[in-house]
Amino acid sequence: MGLGVAFLMVLIIIAVMVLLSCVKVVPQAYAFILERFGAYKATWGTGLHLKVPFIERVARKVNLKEQVVDFPPQPVITKDNVTMQIDTVVFFQITDPRLYAYGVENPIMAIENLSATTLRNIIGDLELDETLTSRETINTKMRASLDQATDPWGIKVNRVELKNIIPPAAIQEAMEKQMKAERERREAILIAEGQKRSTILVAEGKKESAILDAEAEKQAAILRAEAAKEKMIKEAEGQAEAVLKVQQATAEGIRMVKEAGADQAVLTLKSLEAFQKAADGKATKIIIPSELQGIAGLASSLKEIVKDEETK
């Protein structure tokens, strides 16, 4: 009786263990491939699943997240017969777990070999300089080629990058010399441009200085001319004022003479006195108009008459 109970307990424990082993939980971003008697039965997605014991089994657990594979450098030959080492990085994602499980024996190795052959085909049509400057073009061509080739395996290639391009040592040395020469050439151009700019600035400065000097001289000449003009105007105004005063004085004298009742003889004598003053004792001969000679004679006769009256 005790042996029977123990045996029953063992059977129950085994049954529980078997039942627990048949319960499977698929985590997020994973898929399980279920087989029955060695044949594909189903693909389990995320969640709780139960399989038939001893008949069904989980054949493969597939990671659905995007994966990155860094392949070692591959020797390739360019169109101009230069051998270089290029390593690639492939970003891929499993889109069909069933095709991934049954499509190819070793998908990662298949992708590596496929990327190496594709890279050799692309680089073989390019020269060295094109290879070094056409990374984006090479990446695009490789991604399209690998994506198309891996579709039957349930793999989608999202991106391909050339990580390193390593040319031969002689080519590297030549490239370094070329880059050094190019840097020296750019430096010489920059120096020449700087000197040219400096010369232009100096010339422009001299030009501006000459223009400013000319403008200053022009303004000074204008000011001097205006000052001379003002001076001449003032002198002319002074002379005009003096002439005006002389004319006013003359007019006043004539008015006074007329008011005093002076006759023509007095006026003539005043005229003679004016001639005498004009001579100022320096002239040896004074020409008197004929009209005044008669008047002068008359004046002499008058003088003689006056003397005779005084003698009497």
Report the amino acid identity of residue 274.
A
Whether 195 is covered by a domain: the verdict is: no
Give residue 285's domain range: 264-312
> Would 247 be classed as within a structural domain?
no
Residue predicted with more confidence, 299 or 68: 68
pTM of the model: 0.54
Evaluate whether 56 touches 34 at the Cβ level (below 8 Å).
Answer: yes
Question: Last residue of some domain: 132, 167, 202?
Answer: 167
Same domain, 76 and 129: yes
Q: CB-based contacts of 270: which residues, under 8 Å, 6+ apart?
A: none
Average the pLDDT over each of 12-26, 40-54, 115-129, 271-285 and give the range with the smallest value. 271-285
Number of structural domains (the chain) is 3
pLDDT at 281: 52
User: Encoding tokens for residue 150?
Assistant: 């891996």
Helix axes 135-149, 107-123, angle to 10 degrees: 140
Interacting residues of 47 by C-beta distance below 8 A, sequence separation 6+? 25, 26
Tell me whether residue 143 is in a domain. Answer: yes
Query: Do 45 and 72 sit in the same domain of this protein?
Result: no
pLDDT in tens, 170-191: 877 877 788 888 888 888 899 9
Percent of the chain predicted with pLDDT > 70: 80
**CA Rg value for the chain:** 65
Q: Do both 118 and 158 map to the same domain?
A: yes
Mean pLDDT of 91-111: 92
pLDDT of 109 reads: 92
- pLDDT for residue 298 is more than 50: no
For residue 96, pLDDT over 90 is answered with yes
Domain closes at, from 147, 167, 187: 167
Using one digit for the tens of pLDDT, what is the confidence trace for 26-75?
999 999 999 998 899 999 999 998 888 888 889 999 999 999 999 999 89
Identify whether residues 52 and 106 lie together within a single domain: no
CA distances, 190 to each of 127, 177, 178, 180, 254 (Å) = 32, 20, 18, 15, 94
Q: What is the DSSP letter of 72?
A: P
Last residue of a domain, one of 167, 195, 229: 167
d(Cα 164, Cα 87) in Å, to the nearest integer? 6
